[in-house]
Every structure is written in structure tokens, then in C-alpha cells.
């Protein structure tokens, strides 16, 4: 570790991993409720489980990005963080607010939350992924602004690199588009249109800039390839992200009361959305091939390559499957959407957090060359358990989606099967999905175990 202020990243990483465990546990609970409707009901109804599941994901990724940034920025800027104190303080504020919100979801009826916490004054609740009470949303804004201030000041006062500037651009974008979470028009069609400004322009826009920057950083560190080369790739990737991803938002504007031209624009633009993810694969493998150094932290590079590959599969391939309007007409709002969502979020964003943690955590724990071989072996096993578990889960949901489309969507009104009957017919597939979910949890537990593996002392 070159700068002592990089240490502030550590609690962010640890907390992100704890939240990930929570997210998976709630996912398993939902998977069980899919099969046995009485499970946990009425104590925790499905909408509460789902809200906790998805909100934990969002918050854990924010913690992951913050930790990654606080580790990366001092090294890129070649100076200490502008204010380590502020970073530590916002960690506790964000963690406390996050935990309080989750506890609120679990123990207070949602309608009661909606009457309090500033929501009756400025209502923003009850929209998918943006269920947080208005007060929590304001808290997120405050935390993110203080984070961006800290990073910006560090970058301004230090060395400016392509990586740090692109990362910062992504962060400003993240903050800007979150503001649409505060705009809830009475017209549902308008509401949906601007809701996507947060959701799509985060995950298929600004977050990809952050992802690209983090990936580039780890590749520089683990392969020793020169910056000139890495920067060029990074620019190409994010150029394609913006060119395809912005108008690509249109693939959400097919059937929600928006003008018909989106059917064409959304289809064409979003058909190009796999390109930046494909470039990331070429990027990661090219850099690994042309490496100048043999870094002992091999598992970090494995995670980096895995991020590119699984991100491409989840976001690129599974996204493309249903991104064309005539296909989406039948797939819209089915389990196929869930399949895509799971592998895309895991492959692109959860895995980039693992990549950063895998690279940085050993250094923060005083092991500049990475963890020992035994620990890395355990981590590699956990890598495959989680990746294969997620791919298995995604395939199961894909089969479920195809069955749903075949029974419920494709036939004419006289022959189509209703929603609940279709779901009953799919239940065996949901069993398979749940089993793969358990595998992901076991993978994460194995990953946790890798932190505690004892290495035999080297002879010299």
C-alpha cells in the first residue's frame, strides 16, 4: 500500500461483502416462497423480501464502488486522499442509514413508512428499486456528494490519469441521474419514462464507466501493461457504452405508453450494447497475454477476466436475447427479464467488486503480493462455485421464461394459459433455480473462508 489513506477502503469492502451475504439469503428466501407460498408469510411477504434483496444489491454495489475508489484514487493521483476523515464518517453514516432502512422494511408496514420519513411531504416511494423512503434517498445524495467531493479534490490536487478522470465522470453521472428518483409524476407513463433515467442510465450507462475504470486499474496493476495501451482500450469501451447505451435506453420504451419510434431506435441502438462488453473481454485477455510482470496475486486477474466474460454473457448475450422489439413483445416482464437481470448484475458489477477486493484486500492486510497459494486456491474454488451457480440459476430462469412465454404469451386469447396456472407448471424449474442459488451462497461462504486460510511459513 503506497498511501496510508487507502486504508479507508477496508471497511467499505467488508461491509459490501456482508451485504452481499444478506442479499443472497433474501434471494434464497424468495426462491423458497416461489415454491411454498406460506414460507415466512405473513411475517415477510414477497414484496418485502424482494425490496430487501434488490436494495441490498444496490447498496452493496455502492459500498463496493466507494471502497474501490478510495483504494484506487490515492494511487492514481499519487497523493493521500483529500479527507480520510470524511470517508470514514460517511462510511458510518451510510452503513447506519442502510441498516436502519432495511430494518424499517422488515419491521414496519410499508404503508406506514410511506406516511413518515419525509415521504408524505415529498412522495418518492413505491417504485421498483427506488423503494427507499425519501429521507433515505436524501441521505444517499448527501453520502454520494461527500464521496464525490472527496474524490474530486484528490484528483484535482494530484496526478490526473485517464482512469481517474473516467471514474470521476462515471460518479458524476451516477449522482446526476439519481436525482430523477425524486421526480414522481402523476402520469404513470411519464413516471416510468423518467424512472429509467435512474435505472438504465445507471447500470447501462454511468456504471459502465466506473466498471471500465476499475477493470483498467486492476489490469495495469496485475499485468504491468503500459498505460498508453490500457487507456486506448478504456476510451474505446466507454465510447461504445455511451453510443449504444444512451439511445439504448429505448429498449425499455417499447410498451409503456411512449411513442412508437422507440421500437426502432431502442432495438437498433441496444443491439449494439453487447459491443462494449465484448471489447472488455478482448481487453482483459489481450492485456493478460501481453503482460510484462507475473503478479503473485493470480486470482485477482482471474476475477478481472471473469468480470469481462460473465458481464458479457449476462449483460451482452442475455440482454440481446430480448432486446429487439418484436421479441420483447412476448418476453417483456417474464422470467427471462429476471434471468438477464441476475447474470448481468452479478457478472458486471458484483464481480468487479470481487476483482477490486481480491486485488486490494490482501494489500490492505499487509500482503503486497496477494494472498498465499493455499488461500488463492480456496478463492478460486469459490470463484467457480459462484460463477457456475449464477449461470445455472440464470439458465433455470431462462427455461422458466421460455415456458412462460410458450404457455401464456404466444397462444391466442382462447388458448393462452393464465399467469398462476403457468407459474404452477414451471415450479420444478424454480426448484432447480433454488438449488443453484444455494450453490452461490456456498460459494460466497467459501470465499469468506479464504480470508482465514493459514499459510505455512515460507522457508526464507
Partner 1 sequence: MTERITKNMARNIYFGGGLFAILVFTGLTFDTVKQIPKLSHDDQITESVALGKKVWENNNCVGCHTIMGEGAYYAPELGNAFPRLGGNDEAVFKTYLASWMAAQPLEAPDRRKMPQFHLTPEQVNNLADFLIWTSRVNNQEWPPNIKG
Site for partner 1 in 333-362 (CB under 8 A): 333-335, 337-338
Grid coordinates of 436 = 443453484
| Nearest residue to 267 via CA among 287, 282, 247 | 247
Q: Alpha-carbon torsion 77, 80, 86, 89, what sign?
A: positive
Query: Is residue 103 close enough to count as binding partner 1 by CB under 8 A?
Result: no
Per-residue string for binding with partner 1, 181-220, x by CB under 8 A? ---x-xxxxxxxx---------------------------
Rounded Cα distance, 79 and 87, in Å: 15
Nearer to partner 1, 267 or 302 (CB): 267
Select the residue interacting with partner 1 from 106, 108, 148, 247 (CB under 8 A): 247
Residue 264's alpha-carbon distances to 244, 327, 333, 334, 347, in angstroms, are 13, 13, 19, 21, 28
Task: Provide DSSP, 391-451.
Answer: HHHHHHHHHHHHHHIIIIISS-TTTPPPHHHHHHHHHHHHHHHHHHHHHHHHHHHHHHHHT
Select the residue interacting with partner 1 from 11, 118, 123, 449 (CB under 8 A): 123
Select the residue interacting with partner 1 from 217, 254, 346, 359 (CB under 8 A): 254
**What residues from 61 to 90 belong to the interface with partner 1 (CB under 8 A)?**
none
Exposure on the CB side of residue 386, measured as CA atoms within 13 A:
26
Query: Is residue 402 close enough to count as binding partner 1 by CB under 8 A?
Result: no
CB of 106 to partner 1, least distance (A): 13
**What residues from 216 to 245 belong to the interface with partner 1 (CB under 8 A)?**
228, 231-233, 235-236, 238-240, 242-243, 245
CB of 201 to partner 1, least distance (A): 9
Query: Is residue 417 close enough to count as binding partner 1 by CB under 8 A?
Result: yes
CB of 243 to partner 1, least distance (A): 4
Query: Is residue 409 close enough to count as binding partner 1 by CB under 8 A?
Result: yes
Exposure on the CB side of residue 256, measured as CA atoms within 13 A:
19
Query: Is residue 298 close enough to count as binding partner 1 by CB under 8 A?
Result: no
Query: Is residue 332 close enough to count as binding partner 1 by CB under 8 A?
Result: yes
Rounded Cα distance, 326 and 267, in Å: 9
Grid coordinates of 397 = 430462469
Per-residue string for binding with partner 1, 257-276, x by CB under 8 A? xxxxxxx-x-----------
CB of 415 to partner 1, least distance (A): 9
What radius of gyration, in Å, describes the C-alpha atoms of the chain? Answer: 22
Nearer to partner 1, 63 or 180 (CB): 180
* Stretch of residues binding partner 1 (CB under 8 A), selected from 18-26, 83-91, 307-315, 408-416: 408-416
The backbone torsions φ and ψ at residue 395, rounded to the nearest 5 degrees and listed phi first, read -65, -40
Nearer to partner 1, 236 or 381 (CB): 236
Nearer to partner 1, 265 or 381 (CB): 265
Query: Is residue 126 close enough to count as binding partner 1 by CB under 8 A?
Result: yes
Say how many Å lie between the first and final Cα of the chain, rounded: 22
CB of 65 to partner 1, least distance (A): 21
Query: Is residue 373 close enough to count as binding partner 1 by CB under 8 A?
Result: no
Grid coordinates of 417 = 394459459
Rounded Cα distance, 149 and 160, in Å: 16
Size of the site for partner 1 (CB under 8 A): 82
CB of 225 to partner 1, least distance (A): 13
**What residues from 35 to 54 belong to the interface with partner 1 (CB under 8 A)?**
35-38, 41-42, 45-48, 50-51
**What residues from 127 to 156 belong to the interface with partner 1 (CB under 8 A)?**
127-128, 131
CB of 145 to partner 1, least distance (A): 22
**Which DSSP symbol is given to 45?**
-
Select the residue interacting with partner 1 from 64, 250, 306, 311 (CB under 8 A): 250
Cβ proximity of 84 and 8 under 8 Å: yes
Please report where in the chains the cell 452493496 appears, as a residue: 60
CB of 119 to partner 1, least distance (A): 8
Query: Is residue 159 close enough to count as binding partner 1 by CB under 8 A?
Result: no
Q: Is the peptide bond before 42 cis (omega within 30 degrees of 0)?
A: yes
**Cα 28 from chain centroid?**
18
Furthest C-alpha separation in the chain:
78
The backbone torsions φ and ψ at residue 83, rounded to the nearest 5 degrees and listed phi first, read -145, 95
Amino acid at each position: 500500500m503506497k498511501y496510508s489513506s487507502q486504508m479507508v477502503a477496508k471497511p467499505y469492502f467488508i461491509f459490501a461483502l456482508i451485504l452481499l451475504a444478506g442479499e443472497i439469503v433474501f434471494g434464497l428466501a424468495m426462491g423458497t416462497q416461489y415454491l411454498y407460498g406460506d414460507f415466512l408469510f405473513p411475517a415477510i411477504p414477497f414484496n418485502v423480501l424482494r425490496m430487501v434483496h434488490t436494495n441490498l444489491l444496490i447498496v452493496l454495489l455502492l459500498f463496493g464502488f466507494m471502497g474501490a475508489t478510495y483504494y484506487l484514487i490515492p494511487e492514481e493521483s499519487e497523493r493521500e486522499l483529500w479527507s480520510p476523515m470524511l470517508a470514514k464518517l460517511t462510511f458510518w453514516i451510510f452503513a447506519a442509514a442502510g441498516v436502519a432502512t432495511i430494518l424499517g422494511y422488515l419491521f414496519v408496514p410499508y404503508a406506514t413508512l410511506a406516511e413518515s420519513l419525509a415521504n408524505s411531504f415529498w412522495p418518492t416511494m413505491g417504485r421498483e428499486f427506488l423503494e427507499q423512503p425519501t429521507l433515505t434517498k436524501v441521505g444517499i445524495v448527501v453520502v454520494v456528494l461527500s464521496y464525490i467531493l472527496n474524490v474530486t479534490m484528490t484528483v484535482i490536487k494530484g496526478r490526473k490519469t485517464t482512469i481517474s478522470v473516467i471514474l470521476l465522470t462515471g460518479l458524476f453521472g451516477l449522482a446526476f441521474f439519481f436525482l430523477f428518483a425524486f421526480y414522481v409524476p402523476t402520469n404513470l407513463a411519464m413516471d416510468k419514462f423518467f424512472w429509467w433515467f435512474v435505472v438504465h442510465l445507471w447500470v447501462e450507462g454511468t456504471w459502465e464507466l466506473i466498471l471500465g475504470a476499475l477493470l483498467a486499474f486492476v489490469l495495469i496493476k496485475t499485468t504491468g501493461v503500459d498505460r498508453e495501451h490500457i487507456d486506448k482500450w478504456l476510451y474505446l469501451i466507454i465510447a461504445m457504452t455511451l453510443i449504444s447505451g444512451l439511445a439504448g435506453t429505448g429498449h425499455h420504451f417499447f410498451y409503456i405508453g411512449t411513442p412508437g419510434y422507440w421500437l426502432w431506435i431502442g432495438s437498433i441502438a441496444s443491439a449494439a450494447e453487447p459491443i462494449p462488453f465484448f471489447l472488455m473481454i478482448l481487453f482483459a485477455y489481450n492485456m493478460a497475454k501481453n503482460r510484462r510482470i507475473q503478479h503473485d496475486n493470480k486470482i485477482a486477474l482471474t476475477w478481472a477476466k471473469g468480470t469481462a466474460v460473465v458481464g458479457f454473457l449476462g449483460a451482452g448475450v442475455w440482454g440481446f436475447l430480448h432486446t429487439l422489439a418484436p421479441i420483447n413483445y412476448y418476453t417483456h416482464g417474464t422470467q427471462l427479464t429476471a434471468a438477464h437481470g441476475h447474470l448481468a448484475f452479478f457478472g458486471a458489477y458484483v464481480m468487479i467488486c470481487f476483482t477490486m477486493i481480491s486485488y486490494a484486500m490482501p494489500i490492505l492486510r499487509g500482503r503486497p503480493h496477494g494472498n498465499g497459494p493455499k488461500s488463492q486456491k480456496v478463492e478460486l474454488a469459490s470463484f467457480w462455485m459462484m460463477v457456475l451457480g449464477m449461470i445455472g440459476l440464470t439458465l433455470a430462469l431462462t427455461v422458466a421464461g421460455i415456458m412462460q412465454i410458450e404457455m401464456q404469451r404466444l397462444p391466442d386469447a382462447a388458448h393462452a394459459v393464465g399467469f398462476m396456472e403457468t407459474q404452477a407448471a414451471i415450479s420444478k424449474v424454480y426448484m432447480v433455480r433454488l438449488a443453484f442459488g444455494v450453490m452461490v451462497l456456498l460459494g460466497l461462504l467459501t470465499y469468506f473462508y479464504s480470508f482465514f486460510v493459514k499459510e505455512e511459513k515460507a522457508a526464507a
